Structure 1
Amino acid sequence: MLTRQIIHTVVQAALTEDAPWGDITSQTLIPESATATAHLVAREPGTFAGGEVFAAAMTLTDPAVDVDLRVADGTAFAAGDTLASVTGPARSVLQGERVALNFVQRMSGIATLTAAFVAEVAHTSARIVDTRKTTPGLRAFERHAVRAGGGRNHRYSLSDAVMAKDNHLAVLTAQTGLSLTDALRQVREQLPHTTHLEVEVDRIDQIEPVLAAGVDTIMLDNFSLDELREGVALIAGRAIVEASGNVSLATVRDIAETGVDVISSGALTHSVRSLDLGLDVVVE
């Protein structure tokens, strides 16, 4: 998903945004012949993500910059650990610094939060997955970071799977005049056998009519813990059970213990805090 082309396109746009006519500070203060070495150092513990993106921000600024990644994505680290080193023309290192840090700090923040969610449910079979609540233009980066933290990805885009939510169902049944089951069966018949069909329900009484249509996944949206347990028992393995809504680090363990298969959380990407990482120039 996180291809070299995507990395190049997004990072180049960020570099152009940050220095559309060059870095006049570095060009004014730093001699053209100066070189520099800098270390990417963790100010707090976490899980690393975004190494390739960090390196691209430096090398797209100047191919003469050399980046040595000390840890792989998905690696846990402690405060004070050196995660990467950068060597090259000082002007270029300083120009690429902010964009490189912005990406790796955010991606490592997402990986760190995801790892905390995953640890909370490790004693169950529930999978932690992200949502489409990502920063526009940065979905591939943010979802890569979720995987680095041990989580899984939901559908990547609207083109990947059929996911019928409450508004879809309201329009579908109103326009066709069919029952929920018959309307969904009609949808199922139109789909290739390779296309996944997921349906969101917000009431227990919707579960049986949806199951009767032969769906692949049922999302139990904003159900209480008791309702989740009831829903899991009712579905009884006839479809994948996803829980969504009101998912946080404080609630995810209890949700997992209801027996659901998947727990989706937009907080992994839309409410994350960037991790405190710094790029420290080595003075010799």
Structure 2
Amino acid sequence: MDKGEFLKVKYDDYTYKERMLLMYTDKCTANCSHCAAESSPYNNSKMSVEEARQYIEIAASKGFKCILWTGGEVFIYYDEIVELTEYGHSLGLAFTIDTNAYWAVSEAIACEKLERLQRAGVVHIGVSCDAFHLKYIPVQRVVNAVKAAQHLSLSSIVSFTYSGDGEADNKILNDLKDFKVPFEACAVAKVGFAKSLPEEVFGSIDISQVGDCGELGPLVRPGGSVIGCCNPTVPKESPVFIGTGRGNFEENVGRYLKSDCINSISELGFKTFYNMLSEDSAFSKYKMKKYSHCCEFCEDIFTNKYLSGKIIGFIEKSKESNQ
């Protein structure tokens, strides 16, 4: 492995044709009101070890290089994840993992768990920490997890989401800074459970300036459905929703890799679609809408049959002109 490959230690460092998300379970120890995956302690759906093993084999055969374990909370099934990671690593895959760190009750315990995962093939850990999660997991457990990762020289970062409660947000951010914990901050996307949150929680971005959403890469849900990005609640009528069915996984991955829509989102960006639609009267209501994340814009345009048709036509025309 050359230096360039060695430095690819996060899911985000791979292209959308090199990375795959395996949403191992919908079950979570928390019940966060902003959860895009709509996970909770009451949602028990999960992949079987055999299903996940098959997905990993197909991912490797299709040229994917990195798997992100996500959920739900995958540490609930820690031993299974270790076993599957070891197997995938033997096929040449790197692994990253998302967690809320509920399990990191001390730095020593966190070290023990992360060291085993690191030996299995995990190269990066992402930890969620914000006012939504704080109802269920104290900041200290997040700190324990990241400090353990740092002790092991394991790549790590905290994902912080603004809640709309400035006082609570600042307290958490100051705690992370005081503990010298690396973090990245983002706004809440109005998808999944977050659609029920009050408007003041959401920020505002200029979609006309947004390129690639940055989160493309097939997401595999516990039931076998394949989605072209990280949003587990993409409506089935959207071309970003690739296909359903456990038995159709290999076919769906092939469809993802050949999808003109996915390729165009990556190459052209949402700003191209926005500007292309901007003069259409059917798009006027979306021009007036406040978006906090490109996921919301993507859902709007691709679930509107007329606008989706115009975009697909535009993509096909662009493809023909480049041939």
**Would the TM-score normalized by the shorter structure come out above 0.5?**
no
Task: Specify the structure having the higher radius of gyration (Cα).
Answer: 1
When you count strand as a share of all residues, which structure comes out higher?
1
Shorter-normalised TM range: under 0.3
TM-score by length of 2: 0.23
When you count helix as a share of all residues, which structure comes out higher?
2
TM-score by length of 1: 0.25
